[in-house]
Structure 1
Amino acid sequence: MPSVRTDADDLVVPLHVEELSVTRRRVVGQTVRISTATHEREQLVDEELTHHLVEIERVAVGRVVDSVPPVREEGDVTIVPIVQEVVFIERRLVLKEEVHMRRVRVTTRHTETVTLREQEAVITRNAPGQPAIADDPQSLDDKSTTLLQEQQT
């Protein structure tokens, strides 16, 4: 550095000058472990189930008819005609019987215990220099474990 003169003819010579130099470096900080833990719990399911039964009733008729009657419905009953050919001097259709089918609604109570699974995130932080190993490795799901390192700059 050059010397500096002041008004009174004094000569000032700098002997030492400090300069600032700034640099950055990465330092490993805490280790963060994020894992999932699956818990199971039993829950009772109690719901009404509805299903239909079909009651079959055979009704004898024994009436002569000219043609086969069609399947018909009367209210909640479906009637299926059953015919038989009987040989007389002439041929006639005789309505032998009818099958009456009635739908009956049945409601029952069904109780069952089911297993439900629930996952939660478990976050563990280790200070710098500590190993990133869980205290209880059985409590972690190894398939979903992720390790992150925080970087300080």
Structure 2
Amino acid sequence: MQPSDSQLPTNATPLVVPVIEEFVRLEKETVETGRVVIRKYVHLDTQTVDVPLREEQVQVQRIAVNRYVDEAPAVRYEGETMILPILREEVVVTKRLLLVEELHVRTQVLNNSTPQTVELRREEVHYERVPTPPTPPQS
């Protein structure tokens, strides 16, 4: 039990108790531990590749008909052949159509491969770590 002020002797020296408080201060430093060297190389490779090409050839065959018709025939197809009627008007006492000829048009598709030379780029990357000497601690 602690004595109250009235219980202290009159000639007694007061007791002083220091109160201490500590603080923490943190600091950070950037420390280089090494470096990286990156090298990039571009290689140019030449390759021959087959490039598919499409070619269409059209054959036109003229077929003489020389037949009179009452009206113009429509364009028609017989298999892969497109038939286009060619007409001419003739002046007579009466007008009538003469089917002079037909064009038989056939489409033929040819696929060829042609060697082509192309340049392709390829990149290559190398790296190495370069250590740095240690730095002395700062006071």
- Of 71, 89, 95, the residue aligned with 1:85 is 89
Instruction: Name the residue aligned to 2:129.
Output: 125
Distance 1:105 1:25, change over 3 A: closer
- CA shift at 1:35, angstroms? 4.3
Give the Cα–Cα distance (whole angstroms) in 1 for the partners of residues 72 and 83 of structure 2.
13
Give the structure 2 partner of residue 76 of structure 1. Answer: 80
Q: Supply the distance in 2 between the matched residues of 1:39 and 1:81 (Cα, whole angstroms).
A: 61
Residue 93 of structure 1 aligns with an amino acid whose one-letter code is L
Deviation of 1:101 (Å): 0.7
Is there any run of 5+ residues in structure 1 with no aligned partner, and where? 1-22, 130-153
Q: 2:80 & 2:30 partners in 1: Cα distance? A: 82
Matches within 5 A, 1:1-153: 25-128=29-132
Cα separation, partners in 2 of 1:47 and 1:25, compared to 1, 3 Å: closer
TM-score by length of 1: 0.62
Q: Larger strand proportion, structure 1 or 2? A: 1
The whole-number CA distance in structure 1 between the counterparts of 2:100 and 2:69 is 10
Alignment TM-score, normalising by the size of structure 2? 0.68
Whole-Å Cα distance in 1 between the matches of residues 28 and 95 of structure 2? 112
Largest Rg, 1 or 2 = 2
- Number of matched residues? 107
Provide structure 2 residue ranges, at least 5 long, that are not aligned to the other structure: 1-26, 134-139
Residue 124 of structure 1 deviates from its aligned partner by: 2.6
- Distance change in 2, residues 1:24/1:106 (3 Å): closer
Structure 1 residue aligned with 2:18: none
